[in-house]
Amino acid sequence: MFDAKLRPLIDPALNRMGRTLARFGATANMLTFTGLALGLAGAWAIGSGQLWLGLALVLANRLLDGLDGAVARVRGPSALGGYFDIVADFAFYVSIPLGFGVMASENALPALVLVASFVLTGVSFLAFAVIAAERGQETEAHGKKSFFYSTGLAEGGETIAVFVAMCLFPAWFPAIAYGYAALCVLTVFQRSAMAAAQFGD
């Protein structure tokens, strides 16, 4: 929902850092996989009850997720890089609720519900992208991407805000998880309505 509005604010700084990293030989895929490793380590830290460490690793993951795109814009984007980026993103997204589910037994059901909602949201996002590509549709509302990014109520910025809130207020995890899962389901309905409007023949 807010990602497209945030891009003009964060892209200039990311692009400057991306140009510096590219000059030192960093590649987008290198940053993608390093970020994924940090994100999964964050999920492990959360599962172990080390919430401040988990929060720091979550934020580090998101920084590298922004920087891999910045480096790709310098070196030139690739289809394989786009594939690795989206797979790494969803692996990270589902790992954090799982970490909370491992941390406390009362978190298990809300964590499962949230992961299921992420799966539904991801399927709707990718299905929309595939059909949009087949029809030659393009958008740069989220910056220059390897494939079509459709807007939704629950996007990356909202998800990170939710993860931060979970780390800061772990006792509220069930309520936050159920609330955000509901927003993810609404996003699926929203994206489906967009698909019906754009793809209906």
Of 146, 155, 147, the residue nearest 28 (C-alpha): 146
CATH code for position 74: 1.20.120.1760
* CA 95 – CA 100 distance, rounded (Å): 9
Query: How many domains, the chain?
Result: 1
57-110: pLDDT as tens digits: 999 999 999 999 899 988 888 889 989 999 999 999 999 999 999 999 999 999
Q: pTM, whole model, 2 decimals?
A: 0.86
Domain encompassing residue 171 = 3-199
